Amino acid sequence: MQINIQVGDVLEVAADVLISTANPWLNLSGGVNGAILSAVGPPIQEELHAHLRSQGISSVPAGTVVQSSSGNLPFDCILHAVAIDPFYDSTVDLVRHTVVTALELAIKAGATTISTPTLATGYGPMSIADFGTAVAPLASESRFDGLSLTIVVRSEEHRSELSEAISVAQTQT
C-alpha cells in the first residue's frame, strides 16, 4: 500500500472512500464528523442512527467501522471508524485494528484510493506519531497491495511528525 501524507481538508481530498473518525454513538459532532454534518446536512446522521436502531443498540464497540453514503461529498462512501472507546481512550493496537477493518471494507467497496484523517488524535488521546506507528506496518501487508492511502493532516508540523513516525516504524518492522 502506498501511504501519502497531505496537508489540507480531508473532505476535499479526492478518493474513492473516506475513512472518517467516529464516536461509539455514531454522532456527527465535532472534528471531521462535524465537518461532514456541515457539508451534507442531516441525511448521513440519520443513516448512522438508523443503523444503530436496526441493530437494536445505542452505540457500537471500539474498533467498529460503519459504512454510509457520502451525500454530496466526492467519495463513493464514508467509512465511520470508531478508534476510541466510550471514554475516548485508545491505543496504537486499537487504531491499527480499526484501520485494518476500514481498509478491508474499502476493498470490498471496490476502492483503490482512500483518504483519512489521523484517527483518535482529536478528541482521542493519541498523538500524530502514535497514529503513524499504528498504520506504518500496514504498508507492507500484501492484502493491501494496490491501495493508495492519503493521510490528511492540518499542518506542516503534523505532516513532519507523521512522516517521521511512519519512517521509524517501517524500519523497525
Name the grid cell of 124. 482521542
For residue 50, pLDDT over 80 is answered with yes
Domains of the chain: 2-172 (3.40.220.10)
At residue 172, the pLDDT reads 81
CA distances from 137 to 31, 92, 140, 168 (A): 26, 12, 6, 11
Sequence-ordered alpha helix ranges (H) in 14-154 = 31-40, 43-55, 92-108, 128-135
The pLDDT score that the predictor gives to residue 134 is 97
Position 3 pLDDT exceeds 90: yes
Report how far residue 35's alpha carbon sits from residue 38's, in angstroms, rounded to the nearest whole number: 5
Q: What is the pLDDT of residues 120-155, one digit of tens each?
A: 998 889 999 999 999 999 999 999 999 999 999 999
Whether residue 173 has pLDDT greater than 70: no
Beta bridge partners of 77: 17
Using CA atoms, how far apart are residues 31 and 159, in angstroms rounded to an integer? 18
pLDDT for 49: 98
Residue with cell 500524530: 128
The cell for 24 is 461509539
Assess whether pLDDT exceeds 70 at residue 53: yes
Predicted TM-score (pTM) above 0.85: yes
Query: How many angstroms separate the CA atoms of 91 and 134, rounded?
Result: 9
Confidence of residue 171 (pLDDT cuts 50, 70, 90): confident
Phi, then psi, of 153 in degrees rounded to 5 = -120, 170
